Chains A and B, each alone.
Chain A
Amino acid sequence: MSDLGWIVPTALTVIGAMVPLMLAGLGELVAERSGVLNLGVEGMMLVGAVAGFGATVFLGDGHAGVLAAALAGAASACLFGVLTIGLLANQVASGLALTLFGIGLSAALGAGFVGMPVDRLPRLDLPGLSDIPVIGPILFGHDLLVYIAFLSVPAIHFFLYRSHAGLVLRAVGENPDAARAMGYPVRTIRLAAVAFGGAMAGLGGAYLSLAHTPMWAEGMTAGRGWIALALVVFASWLPGRLAIGAALFGAVTILQFHAQGIGVGIPSQFLSMLPYLATIAVLVILSSRTGRNSLDAPRALGRIFDPGH
């Protein structure tokens, strides 16, 4: 048993790195499937992180914090939705605006939380199952957000490919004019998808401020919102592949820790660059497969739907 002692901590580190990316990435995947490109993921994660932290501090309950983070993320996404879906503003510009606004708003709201301790989000052990050696702690010894992240993969896959509502959502993302002609409320569906994406990004942020490192720091998402956006492209807009992509990033994180632990003569800053360089490498490799990726993208992605024309 002792030879395998590294398995559990390694698996837990990978899972810890995966969860925020999965939550935010899956939410964005659903939004993009409806045809809306929301570049505000980083901002929504930060707003979720600070809202979750604040609610936990004031209400003394981590799960209230989780709920607050989802609501705050959804609310910021709705702001983006009103601009792009209601007022037909440019999606790229509005998404960037949301990210910059989220960075500023979370810093302003969180100024009083810096250095404040908070109880880690409680572990929900499943009686009996969590005690199984190795498998128990890896599969059943987690907090609520880890379970949500992993159960969302099959749930969203089922929703998109096995339910009528999911079919309509994909139709709106492929051809909004046709969907509208069939009587579907294109703008309402898109707003709902965007709000869901925001709620998931909020949860991803809350995982960082309540579980991964239970504290608040300005800009603590450190680009994970952008990596989540890259993962959606990597996943060709498929939930299962997004989880695989997140696991690969978890593995990069492990690599970084191990290299630091062994003390190879590489300055720590260069090891910290790995996730960002890996994201670039993945994007380049994927995109070079001669336009394959652009075929997978929802056809109306990023295009403004103008019902008044």
Chain B
Amino acid sequence: MRIRIEKRPEATPLWQWGAPVMALILSLVLGIILFSSLGFHPLEALYAFFIGPISNAWGMGELVNKATPIMLCATGLMIGFRANVWNIGAEGQFLIGALAAGALGLAFWEEDHVWLVPAMALAGILGGMLWALPPAVFKTRFGANEILTSLMLVYVASLTLDWAVRGPLKDPDGFNFPESRIFHDAATIPNITDTSPVGWETVVALIALGIVWFILSRTAAGFRLRLAGASAKAAAFAGVDQKAMVIATLLIGGGFAGLAGAFEVSGTIGQLTPFVAQKYGFTAIIVAFLGRLHPVGVLLSSLLIALTYLGGEAVQIDLGLPKAIAEVFQGFLLFSLLGCTIFATHRIRILTGDAR
């Protein structure tokens, strides 16, 4: 018996969307194997992981809350990935966005301004863009690989945040803990209703996703982006300015990640601490790929990935498992998807006997 891989004459649209579904099924099978090998009843464990956390309205709200920053980061990354610009430093851009927004909020501490929250969001966007600027300049000016430069800046960002909360932004009455004062009300984003933890930042994130969807699918800019991703030569022939494209996509990615960071501190955490870093910027890479670099896909996969985080916390409490199980599961999902992608472009033939 031999297995042969043959190229399909045309990619099949069915598998474009079939692959993520198959990847999900495959990941569930891997999850069953994982939980059984750890000595748990697999279906009970899967229930605790996937259903338990969202079995009530508050849980659903938590899910949406968790998905919001991840979706925002992934929305920005998706744009760059479409053009083969590999910004993997969203985590650093997220942290600097959080730091910029938090610093502004603390600068106007206990002052009542209606413009403070919008200004903090803007500061977050600018902070994220600032952090994405060096990789963009180094790439276009010197040809330095943006994967490595943007990634290195994640460590620089996290050390900067650490310095800020232990130094200039430390809470003066905080018994020397490495955290800032707790933001006052005018610097925090209110929830939409009293019965759910979902805040207004989710609405903003969804509107942003809608705008990106429109630009990507309905405008010439979206077309040029796809062209640049498909073939650099074709894009150059069509007059696409590659350097401008690299700079724009990196800055947009940085802006989205920075906004997510600003929302995280002013909407969810309410102060600056080293624990602002929850690897959402890295998780967003998984979300962008899992969503097939499509806005609708990003929306769905950010909910799915947020669920793995809640599931990880749930099995930590219910079953005593490490909550990093969530990241293992995210790895299963991404590996399965990458493995299944081949079915869209290739046919797997199993040849038996001597038939060749």
Contact = CB atoms under 8 A, between A and B. Distances in A.
Contacts of A94: 335, 338
B241 interface: no
A210 B149 CA distance: 29
A216 interface: no
Given A89-B339, A111-B322, A288-B143, A279 B286 contact: no
A306 B7 contact: yes
A284 B138 contact: yes
A88 B152 contact: no
B311 to A, nearest CB: 13
Given A108-B324, A277-B156, A288-B142, A100 B330 contact: yes
Contacts of B341: 87, 89-90
Interface string A17-59: 0000000000000000000000100000000000000000000
B73 interface: no
B283 to A, nearest CB: 8
A280 B338 contact: no
A93 B288 CA distance: 10
Given A100-B330, A284-B142, A308 B155 contact: no
A226 interface: yes
B307 to A, nearest CB: 15
Interface in A235-281: 267, 269-270, 272-273, 276-277, 279-280
Interface in B311-356: 321-322, 324-328, 330-332, 334-335, 338-339, 341-342, 345-346
A127 to B, nearest CB: 42
Contact of B148 (A88, A108, A222, A279): A279
Given A222-B155, A306-B7, A280 B149 contact: yes
Contact of B151 (A89, A223, A307): A223
A100 B285 CA distance: 9
Contact of A269 (B151, B160, B327): B160
A82 B335 CA distance: 10
Interface in B1-36: 4-7
Contacts of A229: 148
B163 A269 contact: yes
A283 B159 contact: no
Question: Size class of B's contact patch?
Answer: 35 or more
A187 to B, nearest CB: 11
Nearest to B84: A92
Given A87-B338, A93-B289, A101-B334, A287 B138 contact: yes
A115 interface: no
A145 interface: no
Of A90, A276, A291, most buried by chain B (CB within 10 Å of CB) is: A276
B109 interface: no
Interface in B231-285: 279, 282-283, 285
Interface string A80-103: 001100011110111011001101
A20 B163 CA distance: 27
A309 interface: yes
Contacts of B279: 103
Given A100-B334, A222-B155, A230 B339 contact: no
Given A90-B338, A269-B163, A283-B138, A101 B145 contact: no
Interface of A: 39, 79, 82-83, 87-90, 92-94, 96-97, 100-101, 103-105, 107-108, 111, 218, 222-223, 226, 229-230, 233, 267, 269-270, 272-273, 276-277, 279-280, 283-284, 286-288, 291, 294, 306-309
10 interchain residue pairs of minimum CB distance: A104-B327, A101-B331, A111-B322, A107-B324, A108-B324, A269-B163, A288-B142, A89-B338, A287-B144, A269-B159
Interface of B: 4-7, 86, 88, 134, 138, 141-145, 147-149, 151-156, 159-160, 162-163, 166-167, 279, 282-283, 285-286, 289, 321-322, 324-328, 330-332, 334-335, 338-339, 341-342, 345-346
Given A82-B339, A89-B342, A108-B327, 9 more contacts: A97-B331, A101-B334, A111-B322, A269-B159, A273-B156, A276-B152, A276-B155, A283-B145, A291-B143
